Amino acid sequence: MTELATRTTLLPSLDVAAVRADFPILSRQIHGRPLVYLDNAATSQTPRQVIEVFDDYYGRYNANIHRGLHTLADEATAAFEETRERVRRFLNASESREIVFTRGTTEAINLVANAWGRANLVAGDEVLVSRLEHHSNIVPWQLLASELGILIKVIPVDDRGVLDLAAYSGLLTDRTRLVAVNHVSNAFGTINPVREMAAMAHDAEAKILVDGAQAAPHQPIDVRVIDADFYAFSGHKVYGPTGAGVLYGKASLLEAMPPWQGGGEMIETVSFEEPTTFAGIPHKFEAGTPAIAEVIALGEALAWVERTGIEAIGAWEGQLLAHATAGVSRIDGLRILGTAPDKAGVLSFVVDGAHSQDIGLLIDQLGVAIRTGHHCAQPLLAQFGVDATCRASFAAYNTLEEVDIFIDALHRVIGMVR
């Protein structure tokens, strides 16, 4: 048996037909053609088990959580807090109180910037941000810099879209307070060595925040192995609903941080005569009525991922990416952006003589959904001399046949726009 065959037989198996049966939307036709959905890095589709959570919650136990003494409130609170424990296991956090529910990765990063950043950063302090970042891990630090006078230093990437670790090491100084880096690039699919980067940050006595929005759907995450101080991800990237996300933070950091938003739920006592006191973690960061149904549905999405097998999902997506990369590489004038040796299921490219928006609009007419534009990564694309790319991104339910349909459609579309 060849080495390749041996490796292939060791890959975790995935029953793609069974996976696809869980997703009602995949039976839809677009412009008279079966839907081929390759925009998963923006939002993954949702299995029926997650969709059913909403009917169950609103039809059977809709109530506000915590503090209620009646049965519906008890049931809703239990389901909500069970999701917190499921997220803890999903990330291998030490305690469930290290899990804060947010609306998504963007809100989680803003929470860290406003609660931890304002309490710990002063003029002249440095925050390191990689050029691979989504705008949500750039703009909050820029806003803070304009107010506090902190300095933002950019970790460079090479022409493959790989972070320059030597340069990163050189950027770490005794003024570095935080490193903000994604686990997986949404624009290029680069998988960053966050465990190594965390160790280097900690050696410099800095903290590290990891944007895990694009990692959570593709690979196991262990925040204790990474030694992340903060880790964030969004439900709608990992087969869950929009409007629900997670911030993990080490308990010691969360306990020391002031609240970001004020209101109900996050208090212990409120008085006009005495200072207001706040609830313990994580509740002091969850002001107001949360997205209860969405959080419970997120728990079901993570349960679906666990049943399906995250290793099997990642291995299958690797096969899809390899097949797609080989196929588009045979197209004259097509240039792939992001050729890191370690990638998740993201394929970004530009085509000579064709605008990405034209390709995206026309390929949709053939039933294929891809993403075009700057992908909220304008500083990264600027380095490569482009302002937009086409991006195909893969999920557990995609098939090799769909990849072939995508490649054939791409040939047809490019012939039309050149």
Span 113-168, pLDDT tens digits: 999 999 999 999 999 999 999 999 999 999 999 999 999 999 999 999 999 999 99
Could you tell me the sign of the dihedral formed by the alpha carbons of 297, 303, 307, 311, in that order?
Answer: positive
Q: What percent of the chain has pLDDT over 70?
A: 97
Strand partners, 78: none
Span 310-368, pLDDT tens digits: 999 999 999 999 999 999 999 999 999 999 999 999 999 999 999 999 999 999 999 99
Please state, in angstroms and rounded to a whole number, the distance separating the CA atoms of residues 409 and 418: 14
Q: What is the pLDDT of residue 13?
A: 87
Reported pTM? 0.96
How would DSSP label each residue in 40-101? Answer: TTT-----HHHHHHHHHHHHH-----SS--SHHHHHHHHHHHHHHHHHHHHHT-S-GGGEEE
Please state, in angstroms and rounded to a whole number, the distance separating the CA atoms of residues 397 and 21: 9
- Is pLDDT of 6 > 60? no
Catalytic residues: 376
Please state, in angstroms and rounded to a whole number, the distance separating the CA atoms of residues 130 and 200: 15
The one-letter amino acid code at 149 reads G
**End-to-end Cα spacing for the chain:** 45
* Dihedral angle over CA of 10, 14, 16, 17, nearest 10: 110
Could you tell me the sign of the dihedral formed by the alpha carbons of 244, 249, 252, 258, in that order?
Answer: negative
Q: Packing angle between helix 292-308 and helix 71-91, nearest 10 degrees?
A: 40
Instruction: Retrieve residue 302's tokens.
Output: 């993570």
Phi, psi angle pair for 29, to nearest 5°: -110, 145
**Cβ-based neighbours of 3, under 8 Å, separated by 6 or more:** none
